[in-house]
Amino acid sequence: MKKLFVNKEACIGCGACVAIDPEHFDFGDEGYSEVISQENIESANVQNAMSSCPTNAINYAETAEDEEEEHQCEHCEKKGCCNHNDEELDEEIKGDFNSEAENAA
- Residues of 34-49 as b/e, b for ≥16 C-beta within 10 angstroms? bbbeeeebeeeebeeb
Extended strands (E) in the chain: 3-6, 25-27, 33-35, 58-61
| Strand pairing category for 25-27 and 3-6 | unpaired
Binding-site size for ligand SF4 (CB under 6 A) equals 14
- Among 53, 73, 75, 83, the residue binding ligand SF4 under the rule CB under 6 A is 53
Nearer to ligand SF4, 20 or 75 (CB): 20
Q: How far is the CB of 52 from ligand SF4 (least distance, A)?
A: 6
Q: How far is the CB of 63 from ligand SF4 (least distance, A)?
A: 21
State yes or no: residue 46 binds ligand SF4 (CB under 6 A).
Answer: no
Is residue 44 within 8 Å of 80, Cβ to Cβ?
no
The residues that bridge with 58 in the sheet, in sequence order, are 6
Site for ligand SF4 in 2-41 (CB under 6 A): 6, 11-17, 33
Q: How far is the CB of 20 from ligand SF4 (least distance, A)?
A: 8
